[in-house]
């Protein structure tokens, strides 16, 4: 599908499925904005994409998505271009072996994997609706199976033991619940919102956990799929005519997949929305 005349924003684009997704958007002719933490890595990626695709309509926004002030600045930087926004791919993510707090005093996995998606999308929402038809695609995970509820009484994991996969799964459950509520709110606007399970992918996720994280990542890499295969569902949801008008769904391998029952709790989704607004200062 040609994306000529379309504008796409991809977060977390400098490694793994993010870079593969960004390259695919550019290859199909989109004007591409990447949001990344490292200017050097961002420049290297855009140079590589330009060389591979011949698309020179490429831009970079540098932001640390764990910091809400940076999320706000990144959104403002895009809005100041005056450009429409047809495709928003929320892809940035982290996983840690021990608890970390952001500059805003929030547990970092939840802050990056959920609250950054929430805040960035809300700040861009009016522009996206003005640009309809448009699509929002957010990377979740089958890891939502590791956590059966949103811990509204302990979002910072101060009371519970810090278990890596439970904490990560908690943030990915939040992605699915948020997407359901976002899709509900966007009904009738021409904007769809869906989320994906990319599968087990060779990526940079987890490499920030020191030597142990790097070793474990290297050991499991041969058993994981390539970033290109991992990105295929995000690309499908962003570009395929087959999913025109489809919203509020969870996809894997380019097909709808039923998430766990606790990821379909609309009351929890609404409560998460309200709590998220408060945590990012939108109330």
Please give the structure tokens belonging to residue 280. Answer: 């990012």
3-state secondary structure of 38: coil
DSSP helix/strand/coil, 197: strand
d(CA 59, CA 42): 9
Q: Known catalytic residue: 151?
A: no
Buried b (16+ CB within 10 A) or exposed e, 196-219: bbbbebbbbbbeebeeebeeebee
> 259 Cβ partners below 8 Å, 6+ apart?
144, 176, 250
Q: Are 257 and 251 in contact (CB under 8 A)?
A: yes
Q: Which of 96, 117, 151, 168 is catalytic?
A: 168
Rounded Cα distance, 63 and 70, in Å: 5
Q: Which of 14, 7, 59 is CA-nearest to residue 30?
A: 7
Whether residue 176 contacts residue 195, with contact meaning beta carbons closer than 8 Å, is answered with yes
Rounded Cα distance between 211 and 196, Å, is 29
> Could you tell me if 230 and 197 are in contact, meaning their C-beta atoms sit under 8 angstroms apart?
no
Judge whether 132 and 191 are in contact, CB under 8 Å: yes
Residues taking part in catalysis: 168
């Amino acid at each position: 599908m040609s994306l000529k005349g379309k504008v796409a924003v991809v977060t977390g684009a400098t490694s793994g499925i993010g870079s593969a997704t960004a390259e695919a958007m550019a290859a199909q002719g989109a004007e591409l904005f990447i949001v990344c933490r490292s200017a050097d890595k961002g420049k290297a990626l855009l140079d590589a994409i330009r060389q591979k695709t011949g698309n020179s309509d490429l831009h970079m926004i540098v932001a640390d998505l764990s910091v809400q002030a940076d999320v706000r600045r990144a959104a403002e930087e895009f809005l100041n271009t005056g450009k429409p926004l047809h495709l928003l791919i929320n892809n940035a993510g982290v996983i840690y072996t021990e608890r970390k707090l952001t500059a805003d005093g929030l547990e970092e996995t939840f802050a990056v994997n959920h609250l950054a998606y929430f805040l960035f999308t809300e700040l861009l929402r009016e522009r996206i609706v003005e640009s309809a038809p448009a699509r929002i695609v957010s990377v979740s995970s089958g890891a939502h199976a590791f956590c059966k509820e949103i811990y509204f009484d302990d979002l910072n994991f101060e009371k519970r033991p810090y278990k890596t996969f439970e904490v990560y799964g908690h943030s990915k459950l939040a992605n699915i619940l948020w997407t359901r509520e976002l899709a509900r709110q966007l009904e009738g606007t021409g904007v769809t919102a869906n989320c994906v399970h990319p599968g087990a992918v060779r990526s940079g996720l987890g490499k920030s956990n020191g030597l142990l994280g790097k070793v474990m990542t290297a050991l499991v890499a041969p058993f994981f799929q390539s970033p290109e295969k991992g990105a295929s569902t995000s690309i499908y949801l962003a570009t395929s005519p087959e999913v025109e008008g489809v919203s509020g769904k969870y996809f894997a391998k380019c097909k709808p997949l039923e998430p766990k029952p606790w990821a379909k709790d609309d009351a929890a989704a609404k409560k998460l929305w309200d709590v998220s607004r408060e945590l990012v200062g939108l109330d």
